[in-house]
């Protein structure tokens, strides 16, 4: 049986042609489940599904700030858990509905997951993870003064709030994830990168941060010794010189070539960079295969006939 960690990008939950709010996320999740129907029903694949939460946790931060005069705002780690829970429900519901007419019914379980980070991680002094909506320069500056938030330019889009994004070190609920997969139940896990916690004398404590979901998914794939690690996103392949007149797609690559391109700065931190780093970290520890491609071609990407395929 092939172990597969499937990381869903933001377009799995937010589509430009759908309604707004939770209805929009349910609509997008339904389309995602339809794209992944054959994979989800294939019991020869031991499957774990992960997802992002950047826009959603940013919205929750905004919602809690707006309501602070009538209700005490939650800290960021609790909002990570909140969004992981409700996004997991939306995806779980969509997958189960998509498979409801299948003769081979399979169960999906949303698992709120803690991920240990290092309290000395330099990310806490240099926030870098984009969350929430896009603002123009003046609005971002005013919010910085008013709320003490940190903003950076999201290249080509505008300005977004950034929060610390420490490296994931250990997945607390790993044994539960393995147990579910061993009986062919699909865990929806490390959502949004998981809930960041630090460990002191065996005690876990949440911290204000957001873990990159691709890096957390990579760690999960390593710990599970998964033969395949697949990242589904908005682009059909990995490109160098993206959106320039020298744009070039990468069909196949080995680890050394990918590391060379990454070190040369071909992949921006705000877009493809974390996905490439996630692929590198996985392939440095597991002799498996990474595929990066479009959600619209999900099955073909997993089968290795679309997207970018990366091997050791």
Is residue 147 annotated as a catalytic residue, yes or no? Answer: no
Tokens for 187, please give them: 């865990």
Answer whether residue 18 shows pLDDT above 70: no
Question: How far apart, in whole angstroms, are the C-alpha atoms of residue 105 and residue 127?
Answer: 43
Burial per residue of 264-286, b for 16 or more beta-carbon CB atoms within 10 angstroms, e otherwise: eebbebbbbbbbbbbbbbbbeeb
Pairing of strands 45-51, 108-110: unpaired
Which tokens is 146 given?
A: 């008013």
Please enumerate in sequence order all residues whose Cβ is within 8 A of that of 279, keeping only pairs 6 or more positions apart, or say none: 218, 229, 231, 258, 290, 292, 310
How far is it between the farthest Cα atoms of the chain? 58
Q: For residues 51 and 191, is the Cβ–Cβ distance under 8 A?
A: yes
3-state class percentages of the chain: helix first, strand second, coil last, to nearest 5: 40, 25, 35
Q: What is the mean pLDDT of the chain?
A: 91
pLDDT digits (tens, 9 = 90+) for 246-300: 889 999 999 999 999 999 999 987 679 999 999 999 999 999 999 999 988 999 9
10 included as an active-site residue: yes
Residue 43 annotated to the active site: no
From the candidates 53, 58, 88, 275, which is the catalytic residue?
275
The pLDDT of residue 17 is 62
- Specify the pLDDT at position 19: 63
Give the Cα separation of 57 and 77 in Å (integer): 10
The confidence score (pLDDT) of residue 55 equals 82
Inform me whether the pLDDT recorded for 41 exceeds 90. no
Question: Of the residues 9, 10, 30, 194, which is catalytic?
Answer: 10
Handedness of CA 124, 130, 131, 136 (dihedral sign): positive
**Among candidate residues 308, 283, 280, the one with its CA nearest the CA of residue 294:** 308
The yes-or-no verdict on residue 200 having pLDDT over 70 is yes
pLDDT of residue 241: 82
Token pair 């996320």 is found at: 25
From the list 52, 53, 191, 213, the catalytic residue is 213
Give the single-character DSSP code of 168.
P
The pLDDT of residue 156 is above 80: no
DSSP 8-state assignment for residue 74: P
Does residue 51 carry a pLDDT above 70? yes
Q: Break the chain into its structural domains and give their ranges.
A: 2-55+75-115+168-311
**Catalytic residue flag (residue 213):** yes
Whether the CB-CB separation of 269 and 128 falls below 8 Å is answered with yes
For residue 185, pLDDT over 90 is answered with yes
Over residues 97-147, the pLDDT tens digits come to: 988 877 667 899 999 999 999 999 999 999 988 887 788 999 999 989 988
Q: Which of 3, 129, 237, 281 is catalytic?
A: 129
DSSP class of residue 236 equals S
Whole-number pLDDT of residue 16: 66
Could you write out the DSSP letters of every residue in 196-221? Answer: EEEEETTEEEE-S----HHHHHHHHH
Query: Over the Cα atoms of the chain, what is R_g?
Result: 19
Check residue 35 and give its pLDDT: 86
Cβ–Cβ < 8 Å for 101, 163: no
The CA distances from residue 222 to 72, 198, 205, 280, 284, in Å, are 39, 21, 24, 11, 9
Residue range 168-177, pLDDT digits in tens: 999 999 999 9
The CATH classification number of 2-55+75-115+168-311 equals: 3.40.1160.10
pLDDT in tens, 71-92: 998 999 999 999 999 999 999 9
φ and ψ of 287, to 5 deg: -85, 70
> What pLDDT was estimated at residue 106?
85
Contact predicate 207/199, CB 8 Å: no
pLDDT, one tens digit per residue, over 230-242 is 999 988 999 998 8
pTM of the model: 0.91
293 is catalytic: no
State how far the Cα of 74 lies from the Cα of 94, in Å rounded to an integer: 28
| Per-residue pLDDT at 20 exceeds 70 | no
């Amino acid at each position: 049986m092939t172990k597969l960690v499937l990381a869903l990008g933001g377009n799995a939950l937010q589509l430009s042609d759908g309604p707004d709010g939770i209805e929009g996320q349910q609509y997008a999740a339904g389309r995602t489940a339809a794209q992944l129907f054959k994979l989800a029903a294939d019991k020869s694949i031991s499957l774990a599904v992960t997802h992002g939460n950047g826009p959603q946790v940013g919205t929750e931060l905004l919602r809690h700030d707006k309501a602070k005069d009538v209700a005490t705002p939650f800290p960021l780690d609790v909002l990570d858990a909140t969004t992981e829970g409700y996004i997991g429900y939306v995806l779980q519901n969509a997958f189960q509905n998509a498979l409801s007419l299948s003769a081979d019914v399979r169960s999906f379980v949303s698992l709120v997951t803690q991920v240990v980070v290092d309290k000395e991680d330099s990310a806490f002094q240099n926030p870098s993870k984009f969350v929430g909506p896009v603002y123009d320069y003046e609005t971002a500056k005013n919010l910085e003064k008013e709320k003490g938030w940190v903003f950076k330019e999201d290249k080509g889009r505008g300005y977004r709030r950034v929060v610390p994004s420490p490296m994931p070190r250990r997945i607390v609920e790993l044994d539960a994830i393995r147990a579910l997969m061993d009986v062919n139940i699909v865990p929806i896990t490390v959502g949004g990168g998981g809930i960041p916690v630090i460990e002191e004398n065996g005690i876990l404590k949440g911290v204000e941060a957001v873990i990159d979901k691709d890096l957390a998914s990579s760690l999960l794939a390593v710990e599970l010794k998964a033969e395949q690690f697949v990242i589904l996103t908005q682009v059909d392949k990995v490109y160098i010189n993206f959106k320039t007149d020298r744009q070039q797609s990468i069909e196949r690559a080995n680890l050394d070539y990918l590391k060379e391109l990454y070190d040369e700065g071909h992949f921006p931190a705000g877009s493809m960079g974390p996905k490439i780093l996630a692929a590198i970290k996985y392939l440095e520890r597991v002799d498996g295969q990474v595929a990066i491609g479009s959600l619209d071609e999900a099955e073909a990407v997993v089968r290795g006939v679309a997207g970018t395929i990366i091997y050791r």
